[in-house]
């Protein structure tokens, strides 16, 4: 791996704010982002990336490469929760295994945004359809996790699969990014230009504040996660790396640009800590959120934005 690339990534201002949040928690500072503000910023980020992606799709062409990319992403959103479920089922209940499987089969929007900034810094282009790929990967992984839990678990769950599908598709995060994507796709150019300062100019500033909050949250989650032992820590490190590398191998023979290949890798390697916990609260009430949320937010998220991005990019250059 190119260590200069790693150093440049770690010194990115947005990532430095994430590290500041970790430090603030370690030194027990009273620094805090109000919960309402944090929720607003997360919705803003989903709105901005969805709208910009829709605009890119509006002005782009539906090529074979685009369809291949979306197909690979959909395949990964089903394949990852299936294999991780059976990997975890040996040592965990069906509910815990399903919750973790759905978490790692789903995606992290903030990790995705960090990857786009990584590419922007290097001047590498990528397609707006990758936002559509991200939106498409969210719900299937949740549904696969729930179905596996139903088939291989003993517990009964209220509402039925239809209710879970409805909750997955109408989850606030999923609905915001999907709705913003469609809005950006439909909106005319003159109207879109009017809100461009809001969707573009202030984006990095809001992302920096959000990552500061995520740094503090991640540090707190890791502290509470220690009781689960080394095996789950290794899972939260090795499985995302394996998923990212698998996606790079799958896209090697396809005519997909390097920037899009990196985004596919980071989507495969990411883990959801927003949409999946909200869905699993209803679908798997007996699953331990103190297990799958710290894994996604406290370990996998910082791993991907610090080491994962330069590692996947280096591998793409060689494949």
Domain count for the chain, please give it: 1
Instruction: Express each pLDDT in 114-134 by its tens digit.
Output: 899 899 989 999 988 888 888
The domain in which residue 57 lies consists of 3-24+33-318
Return the pLDDT at 164: 63
Return the pLDDT at 55: 84
DSSP of the chain: --HHHHHHHHTSHHHHHHHHHHHHHHTT------HHHHHHHHHHHHHHHHHHHHHHHHHS---HHHHHHHHHHHHHHHHHHHHHHHHHTTTS-HHHHHHHHHHHHS--HHHHHHHHHHHHHHT----THHHHHHHHHHHHHHHHHHHHHHHH-S---TTHHHHHHHHHHH-HHHHHHHHHHHHHHHS-HHHHHHTHIIIIITHHHHHHHHHHHHHHHHHHHHHHHGGG-HHHHHHHHHHHHHHHHHHHHHTTTS---HHHHHHHHHHHH---SSHHHHHHHHH-TTS-HHHHHHIIIIIIHHHIIIIIHHHHHHHHHH-
Instruction: Express each pLDDT in 25-82 by its tens digit.
Output: 999 999 999 988 888 888 888 888 788 878 877 877 777 878 889 899 999 999 999 9
Number of neighbouring beta carbons within 10 Å of residue 26: 11
Contact 264, 201 (CB under 8 A): no
Residue where the block lists tokens 């879970």:
164
Instruction: Express each pLDDT in 179-201 by its tens digit.
Output: 888 898 899 888 888 888 888 88
Contact 106, 271 (CB under 8 A): yes
Write the CATH number for 206.
Answer: 1.20.1530.20
């Amino acid at each position: 791996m190119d260590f200069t690339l790693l150093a440049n990534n770690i010194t990115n201002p947005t990532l430095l704010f994430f590290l500041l949040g970790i430090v603030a928690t370690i030194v027990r500072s009273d620094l805090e982002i109000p919960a309402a503000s944090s929720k607003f910023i997360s919705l803003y980020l989903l709105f901005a990336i969805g709208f910009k992606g829709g605009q890119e799709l509006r002005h782009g062409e539906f090529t074979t490469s685009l369809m291949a990319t979306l197909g690979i992403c959909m395949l990964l959103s089903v394949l990852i929760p299936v294999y991780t479920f059976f990997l975890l089922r040996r040592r965990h209940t069906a509910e815990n295994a399903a919750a973790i499987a759905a978490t790692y089969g789903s995606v992290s929007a903030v990790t995705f945004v960090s990857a786009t900034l990584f590419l922007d810094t290097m001047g590498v282009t990528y397609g707006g359809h990758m936002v559509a790929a991200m939106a498409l990967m969210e719900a299937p992984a949740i549904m696969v996790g729930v179905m596996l839990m139903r088939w291989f678990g003993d517990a009964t769950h209220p509402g039925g699969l239809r209710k879970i599908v409805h909750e997955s598709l109408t989850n606030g995060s999923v609905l915001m990014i999907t709705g913003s994507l469609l809005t950006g796709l439909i909106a005319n150019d003159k109207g879109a230009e009017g809100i461009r300062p809001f969707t573009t100019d202030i984006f990095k500033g809001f992302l920096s504040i959000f990552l500061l909050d995520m740094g503090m949250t991640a540090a707190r989650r890791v502290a509470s996660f220690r009781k689960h032992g080394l095996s789950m820590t290794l899972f939260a490190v090795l499985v995302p790396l394996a998923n990212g590398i698998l996606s790079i191998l799958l896209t090697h023979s396809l005519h997909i640009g390097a920037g899009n290949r990196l985004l596919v890798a980071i989507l495969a390697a990411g883990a959801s800590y927003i949409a999946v916990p909200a869905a699993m609260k209803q679908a798997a009430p007996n699953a331990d959120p103190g297990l799958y949320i710290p894994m996604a937010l406290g370990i996998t998220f910082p791993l991907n934005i610090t080491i994962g991005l330069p590692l996947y990019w280096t591998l793409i250059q060689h494949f």
